[in-house]
Amino acid sequence: MSDNSESKVSDNDGLRAPEGASGSPAGLPAGLSVEGISKGFPGVQALDDVFFSLRRGEVHAILGENGAGKSTLLKILSGALQPDSGRILLDGTEVHLRNPKSASDAGVAAIYQELSLVPWLSVAHNLFLGREKMVGRFVMSPKKLHRKASEVFSALGLSLDPNALAGNLGMAEQQLVEISRAFSRNARFILMDEPTASLTETEINLLFKKIETLKKAGVGILYISHRLEEIFRIADRVTVMRDGKSVYSGLAGELSLPELISTMVGRSIGNHYPKEAVSPGEVLLEAEDGVSGPEGILFTLRKGEVVGLAGLVGAGRTEWARKVFGADPDPEIRLRISGTEVTVNSPRHARDLGLGMVPENRKDHGLISGRSVLHNITITILDWVSRFAIVDRRRQSAVSAEYIGKLSIKCPSDSADITTLSGGNQQKAVLAKWLARRGKIIILDEPTRGIDVGAKLEMYQQMNALCREGKGIILISSDLPELLSMSDRLYVMHERRFVASISREEASQERVLAYASGLNDSQILRNGSEGV
């Protein structure tokens, strides 16, 4: 409860002398801060008397599980939402951020997880979207646009082509364009929501460098991320939120990683990755990589096993998994399922063969949005709970209730809209539909992306439970520690091929990254960490 006292301190400070920020030794001038902000939605108090401040030239990370109120706070600071009570102060003066425009005028810019560039406009045009007058009163001069964009990029030390179509850029580059846009608008505070969620390691490094540049330019950065390791790399201060309250605020490094996690969840999590040992059974699945050329490594999955797929982004892991599942049918990929050779030609076919897939893109490929939890869970088994195509609602809700209980999916009722659930619970519902179908082979593609620590742990426990039941799991994850800890064996992919098969004991981050970067055995034996 020390956090409460800290909140009070900053409250008093705020009332007496807005310029002198709370308990910080540095004594930097106050930047953007909120005092006693509350915000309720029907059925949930998203923010409850929250105090928070973001100074110029600092990176302030907000941690918390999904539903802790981080995004709501961010939306209030960016003018997208209005608080029910409390004040927002800009350099000690109360401001009203009625909409994103007024926040932008006040120098606050938000970069959301879903990027907001217009894909068929050039990078330069995107940079000045809505401010075309800066480039020309009526007729926009392409030359001037190009020059102005280049100026912004060079100020940030970026090498982006202003003429490129925004839609052709990778996620990281698009993000950099958004950051440049905020910067060119003289944003003094940039709020970032999960900026690294879909970036590769190299891209993250680049992003962090740019964040340093912004810091030096005096920009205050609010940073929300589920990747806790990042916090230690980049944050100056950390605030932890739980159940709509700010429960901790302090300098980064004051608390260790486990301490931060237990502050976030309100309990201590003993083991980050509670992988249980298994004794694999018979072979469930054998598959090739489907790339012509010299015979590659054969992928095998046994009962009770978690087999991880490692590789850099773009190595073709998701593509391979989608082919195996019949989402993008490929006759080149022949599978042997429980001894029988098949070529999967549709997800329906895969379903009937006992395969299930929790796709990487939950929102677009996993959830049937606008429909109930019940509908989402039972969509795969309607034929089992119906007679003459008439659904037996009692049996349908019994199945749904069984899996809501089994996976402890937290929802107000099974008729709640699936999109109102937290990310972790949505993910569990997507998994539930395949368990309901009694899938034997479950493909989990980035199953813990964007979900909070507690939900991650539950996902790992589910994987253990599935293994105990004799199911086989194919795990794709860009979170290397997770992949190494949760897999019994690993295959490493490089340029759409399986290049290595590594046992749990032999696996190390360095080794996996070396294979993933395309090094061969002899190179790796000579120098394990070369090329990493």
Task: Report in angstroms how near the CB of residue 523 gets to other proteins at its nearest.
Answer: 39
- Which of 245/437 has CB closer to other proteins? 437
Tell me the C-alpha distance between 45 and 41, whole Å.
6
Residue count of the chain, please give it: 532
Task: Report in angstroms how near the CB of residue 447 gets to other proteins at its nearest.
Answer: 15
Q: What are phi and psi of 172, to 5 degrees?
A: -65, -45
Task: Report in angstroms how near the CB of residue 448 gets to other proteins at its nearest.
Answer: 19
Tell me the C-alpha distance between 83 and 258, whole Å.
32
Q: What are phi and psi of 49, to 5 degrees?
A: 55, 60
- Which of 166/373 has CB closer to other proteins? 373
- Which of 8/363 has CB closer to other proteins? 363
Tokens standing for residue 88: 């927002």
Task: Report in angstroms how near the CB of residue 360 gets to other proteins at its nearest.
Answer: 11
Helix H or strand E segment including 49: strand 44-54
**Site residues, other proteins (CB under 8 A):** 42-44, 325, 327, 346-348, 350-352, 357, 359, 364-371, 375, 379-380, 382-383, 386, 389-391, 393, 412-413, 415-417, 420, 433, 437
- Which of 4/415 has CB closer to other proteins? 415
Task: Determine how β-strand 355-358 pairs with β-strand 441-445.
Answer: parallel
- Taking phi over 0 as left and psi of -120 to 50 as alpha, with beta for the rest, 144 belongs to alpha
Task: Report in angstroms how near the CB of residue 307 gets to other proteins at its nearest.
Answer: 21
From residue 272, alpha-carbon distances to 252, 268, 277, 402, 506 in Å are: 20, 10, 15, 27, 20
Task: Report in angstroms how near the CB of residue 420 gets to other proteins at its nearest.
Answer: 7
Give, as one character, the DSSP assignment of residue 315: S
Tokens standing for residue 255: 């608390």
- Which of 7/427 has CB closer to other proteins? 427
* Residues in contact with 436: Cβ distance below 8 Å, sequence separation at least 6, in sequence order: 377, 378, 380, 381, 399, 402, 403
- Which of 87/371 has CB closer to other proteins? 371
- Which of 227/363 has CB closer to other proteins? 363
- Which of 81/88 has CB closer to other proteins? 81
Task: Report in angstroms how near the CB of residue 391 gets to other proteins at its nearest.
Answer: 6
* Residues in contact with 106: Cβ distance below 8 Å, sequence separation at least 6, in sequence order: 90, 95, 97
Task: Report in angstroms how near the CB of residue 375 gets to other proteins at its nearest.
Answer: 7
